[in-house]
Structure 1
Amino acid sequence: MTAIVSLPITSWDQPISSANQTLAIEALEAGNVVLLPQLPFVVREDERPLLESNVIQGIKNVSLAPANGTFKGSKGTEAEQRQLQAMMMRFAASTKSLANNLLSPYEEGLQQARASFRPVEIAGRPTSWRKDDTRLHVDNFPSSPTLGKRILRVFSNINPQNQPRVWRLGEPFETVAQRYLASLPKPLWGASKIMNALGITKSPRSAYDHYMLRLHDHMKADQDYQTQPSHQEQLFAAGTTWMVFTDQVSHAAMSGQFVLEQTFLLPVEYMQHPAQAPLRVLERLTGRGLV
């Protein structure tokens, strides 16, 4: 089962020993969660009203591109939106500093992607089964093919009522892949170029992206799999931060609200143990290159 590896980190920009760097990377690449229980992202007093204002009412996801500050998905007054954007930029800068210190062997390859703020209670939220993140799944992006890059995500629970974020964690990636691979349809010749030409995807999908998206859907659609008692529950308390390769770890967010998230992408060649990457696992199981 997925292990939770805790580290005593108390600052987003503190120097981190090589021993703790190694511990974090070994845990992440093995498909575990790195928990930082003493590392809160502190919401400033002037930002606290944002968690009660119209800027986030009914909003599932507010997104931010740290590279240029592009900000989407919020409501409220112009001043409130600017303040939320500034808070998210501060979170993005904090996570980048953390990643550079804790995961320094990745530094040359690690690419900071979008940050998000998820203010709505996830339990009971109406949505389609495919978009229902309370169902166990692994991550891939329908419109933005990763071409095998790892998806590393850093989460921080900023819930003002001190409510936890509750996850379920599933089986190791290779076990899940072996369960579903034979039932996944193979990519259709030319389909990736057509989807790209039509603007459905930002670049042509690789065979890897095809299989990962189908795996995501088959997992979520399989109600028997979703209700297996072997899956473990994990509570992430308010004021804690955690990171995980969500393309590898089967996960589902069951309840909670007010979570900040930062996505990083990592090419497989920058890993310490590339054979553990989902790309390499699927290539081994299919007997062919997938990118």
Structure 2
Amino acid sequence: MSALHANTAIVELPFNRWDIPEQNPQIQHSLELGDVLYLPQLAFPLTKKEHELLTPALVSPKRKNISYQPEKQNINGVADASRTEEVQQLVDRYYRCAVSLLGSLLPGYRQALHSPTTSLRLHPIAAWRANTSWRKDDTRLHVDAFPSRPTYGERIVRVFSNINPHGEARVWRVGEDFASLSARFLPELKAYSPFSSWLQAAVGITKRKRSHYDHLMLELHDKMKGSTAYQQRGLQQSIEFPPGSTWICFSDQTPHAAMSGQFMLEQTFLLPLDAMQDPQLSPLRVLENATQQILI
């Protein structure tokens, strides 16, 4: 496997609590460069009753995970209705811990993070991979792009915690910096069609019209996953996130692939570009500079 590009790094942080003092802006800058913030001592402890929820049978058939929208108090994907309240209490507690952590770790984003979604992932990665298409196969290196929910350049911030009770690490591959990645694939991406974008929104395939930017990001996601050569020989490194650890990245910028593991909590937020220290590092600005076009 190739050595990782120098512009990407795993930045280890020493915190072991979710409520920490406000931190130096350098941490925020590191995240904006595409680095992964790794907190090896930051566990999300579960109660004895919550440990009983760690079974794939709790997830509704054909769903990848249990999903929670904290602002609406809306939870989906719990197969056993009698345990819905317990699951909601667990994921809501994780959401609140993530809000507290990011508010101090990344204070420049504190008032700007929005549209939170919390996921409880109970399936082993190997089992899910066997029953999904290559586009949905997250063991392939990719950057995140939402097929039905265009972001119009807003950032995707994700907080992950390994809650595996059996000592199993979550193993990731992490790829090169976004500028190098996009330069590699941009000539292969299909041209944007405003009519197709309008039509998909009109018939309900997307929640709103897909922007030129969102089209390119979705094309990039698919081209990465579809390229066997890139998956095998692209710049990348492997990292293990053991139980009791937490990590954070801009998943629309940092190429990543989840290779193995089971039992994880994940918190997603969207972030407007103007909340960034340096919006020029965002995928939107990188792609606009590369294409010499306004993409939203």
Give the TM bin, normalised by the shorter chain: over 0.9
What residue is the counterpart of 2:284 in the other structure? Answer: 279
Task: Please state how far the C-alpha of 1:9 moved relative to its aligned partner.
Answer: 1.4
Equivalent residues, number = 287
Q: 1:43 aligns with which of 42, 46, 58?
A: 46
How do residues 99-138 of structure 1 correspond to structure 2 at under 5 angstroms?
99-124=102-127, 125-126=129-130, 127-138=132-143
Matches within 5 A, 1:78-117: 78-117=81-120
Amino acid at match of 2:108: P
1:125-158 per-residue CA deviation (whole Å, 9 max, x = no partner) reads: 3211000000000001001100000111000000
Q: Counterpart in 1 of 2:19?
A: 13
Alignment match, 1:67: 71
Q: Where in structure 1 are there 5+ consecutive unaligned residues?
A: none
User: Counterparts of 2:184 and 2:34 in 1: how far apart (Å)?
Assistant: 17
* Runs (5+) with no aligned partner, structure 2: none
Compare 185-194 and 238-247 and name the one that shifted more.
185-194
Amino acid aligned to 1:54:
A
State the shift of 1:26 in Å: 1.5
Alpha-carbon distance between aligned partners in 2 of 1:257 and 1:60, rounded to the nearest angstrom: 12
Following TM superposition, by how much is the alpha carbon of 1:108 offset from its aligned partner in structure 2, in angstroms?
A: 2.3
Q: Could you tell me the TM-score, scaled by structure 2's length?
A: 0.93
Structure-2 separation of matches of 1:112 and 1:95: 13
Q: Give the 3 Å change call, closer, same or farther, for CA 195–186 of structure 1 in structure 2.
A: same
Is 1:167 aligned to 2:172, yes or no? yes
Match of 2:200 among 189, 192, 195: 195
Equivalent residue in structure 2 for 1:225, among 230, 233, 249 = 230
Q: d(CA) in 2 for partners of 1:210 and 1:54?
A: 36
Question: Residues 55 and 122 of structure 2 are in contact (CA less than 8 Å); yes or no, is this contact kept in structure 1?
Answer: no
CA–CA distance in structure 2, aligned partners of residues 271 and 136 of structure 1: 25
Q: Partner of 2:224: helix, strand, or coil?
A: helix
Contact persistence 1:64–1:116 (CA under 8 A): yes
Q: Alignment partner of 1:234: what SS?
A: strand
Deviations along 1:254-284, whole A, 9 cap, x unmatched? Answer: 0001011011111111100111000000000
| Deviations, residues 87-131 of structure 1 (Å, cap 9, x unaligned) | 001101110111111111112221142111111111253211000
Q: Secondary structure at the match of 1:176?
A: helix
CA distance in 2, matches of 1:90, 1:161: 22
Q: 1:216 and 1:288 mapped to 2: Cα distance?
A: 20
For residues 212 and 119 of structure 1, what CA distance do their matches in structure 2 show?
28
**Distance in 2 separating the partners of 1:5 and 1:117:** 25
Aligned to 2:269: 264
SS of the aligned residue for 1:227 comes to: helix
Equivalent residue, structure 1, for 2:188: 183
Partner of 1:239: 244
Alignment RMSD, CA only? 1.4
- AA of the residue aligned to 1:141: F
Distance 1:38 1:158 in 2: 12
Instruction: Give me the whole-angstrom Cα distance separating, in 2, the residues matched to 1:172 and 1:275.
Output: 14
1:14 is displaced (CA, Å) by 2.3
Q: 1:121 to 1:54 in 2, by over 3 A?
A: closer
Would you say 1:150 and 2:159 are equivalent positions? no
State the shift of 1:56 in Å: 3.6
Q: Which digits, 9 at most, give the CA deviation of each residue in 1:5-52, with x for residues without a partner?
A: 1112121122233x3xx2321210011000111111111112111113
Compute the displacement of 1:57 (Å): 7.8
Change over 3 Å in CA distance of 1:284–1:230 after alignment to 2: closer
After TM superposition, the structure 1 stretch with the greater mean CA deviation from structure 2, 114-123 or 235-244, is: 114-123
Q: Work out whether residues 137 and 252 of structure 1, in 8 Å CA contact, stay in contact via their aligned partners in 2.
A: yes
**Alpha-carbon distance in 1 for matches of 2:223, 2:20:** 41
Query: Contact 2:27/2:106 (CA < 8 Å) preserved in 1?
Result: yes
Question: % of aligned pairs identical?
Answer: 46
* Residues 203-237 of structure 1, C-alpha deviations (whole Å, 9 max, x = no match): 11110000000000000000010011742001001
